[in-house]
Amino acid sequence: MNTSPSWILPASAKVGDIGLDSLDAQWCGGTVRQSLNAAALAAGLSGSGDADVITLTAGAVATAAALRGFIAASEQVPGDVLGRLAGPSGAWCDDASFGTPARLVRLRGGGSLTPERVAAATLIEVPVKKPRSIRVPLANTPGGAEVALVLADEVLCSTHTHAGLLWANLLALPPTLWGQLVGQSVVLGLARMAWAVLRTRSLDPFVVAGRLNRVERGARIHPSAVVEACWVQAGAEIGPGAVVRGCIVGPGARVEAQTFVGFSVLGAGSCVQRMGWMSFSLLHAGAAHAGAMQLGVLGPDAAVKGGAVLMDQGVGQAVRVLVDGELRATPLGMMGVGVGRESVVGSGVWVAPGRTIPPQLTVLPPASDVLTRVDAAAAPGVYQIVGGGLERVR
């Protein structure tokens, strides 16, 4: 009889108001459904078994390292078990969940996850093996100039809001890229690092990391593009003059000429259009971005036109996001905009930080700011737009 735990995907949850189911959302190298199943497989879990069930609370995601740690930590605990990450890593993941925090679950003897079983379960802390703290500058807000951001292979986050989904991707991005570019095997990792050192003729970790890329079959990178520490999936294309650093570029995604994309995740068939700029952001399948965005999320087939700006910082105060009708502060005092499925943010539109644009909306700048009537006989001079026409200033 197979007595090892079996794996069941968590129940789905609505991702804020961007028209997306959590299991269909983008999480690092694929959808949440795909990436969670891959993480479970890497943690040694199968899809069937006769004993306990390992799962997550609704809308949660967890890396393979978090699953492995939980399985080991819960082994000798009687009854149903809930798990959270220990220490600063756990605090970060809970804060980034924006609402009900994510929990790992072990159901003794199998069965279904019910509120009654959750209430009766024993809560344990899952050890985090090698947390790494980095200093991150804050926005110009009260409370200090910087904060310690904790990164680890163990990640456990909820995706109930676009902000939580974004942080789930950002926190899981470093271990995902490390696994893809260096590998989990010590021998393979050392070989790849040695090859990168030989190619760069440098021991500078930033220089060496810049040459560690994984480029899958059918992907194309223009010779003039700068691509550093990226996983470029099958059929993706990176155009001339583009700069792409620390990113996952999904299958069939395009990064067009003269763009900058940093530390972001691009879903299948998405596109950063010519001269677009995005950093620490997330594009879902089919989304297109041509403006400026940081800490933002574009839902499936959403579009941000050139000249649009999705802001991520307030002036003199921390950005807050709406969660279950309540405004909550963000961990760094910064948060970008969530754009719903098939919504369009028009050229010249600026969106304040932390906002969510619901699905299937088209947002345009005021008509009074758009020049629609031009007097061909106007004398040379300086004009401003008034009511769609020109009014002479001097």
Q: Bridge-partner residues for 148, per DSSP?
A: 135
Please give the pLDDT value at position 98: 83
Do 280 and 268 contact (CB within 8 A), yes or no?
no
Query: What is 238-270 written as a DSSP string?
Result: E-TT-EEES-EE-TT-EE-TT-EEES-EE-TT-
Neighbours of 109 (CB within 10 A): 10
Q: Bridge-partner residues for 156, per DSSP?
A: 62
What backbone phi and psi angles, to 5 degrees, belong to 186? Answer: -65, -45
**Mean predicted confidence (pLDDT) in 73-87:** 95
List pLDDT tens digits, range 267-302: 999 999 999 999 999 999 999 999 999 999 999 999
List pLDDT tens digits, range 8-32: 999 999 998 899 999 999 998 899 9
List pLDDT tens digits, range 124-177: 999 998 877 666 555 454 444 555 667 789 999 999 999 999 999 999 998 898
- Nearest C-alpha neighbor of 39 from the set 15, 68, 14, 13: 68
For 23-41, letters b (16+ CB in 10 Å) and e give: bebbbbbbbbbebbbebbe
List pLDDT tens digits, range 334-363: 899 999 999 999 999 999 998 999 999 999
Region of poorest pLDDT, from 193-197, 199-203, 330-334, 337-341: 193-197
Out of 187-191, 250-254, 364-368, 384-388, the most confident range is 250-254
Question: Residue 276 is which amino acid?
Answer: G
- pLDDT band at residue 193 using 50, 70 and 90 as cut-offs: very low
**Sequence ranges of the chain with CATH classification 2.160.10.10:** 202-365
List pLDDT tens digits, range 213-257: 889 999 999 999 999 889 999 999 999 999 999 999 999 999 999
For residue 74, is pLDDT > 60?
yes
Q: What pTM was estimated for this model as a whole?
A: 0.87
Cα within 13 Å of Cα(55), Cβ side: 23
Do 189 and 182 contact (CB within 8 A), yes or no?
yes
Q: Which CATH number fits domain 202-365: 1.10.10.10, 2.160.10.10, 1.50.10.10, 2.60.260.20?
A: 2.160.10.10
Cα within 13 Å of Cα(155), Cβ side: 30
Please give the pLDDT value at position 198: 53
For residue 200, is pLDDT > 60?
no
**Angle between helical axes of 87-96 and 162-181 (0-180°, round to 10):** 130
| Strand-pair category, 132-137 with 104-107 | unpaired
For residue 320, is pLDDT > 90?
no
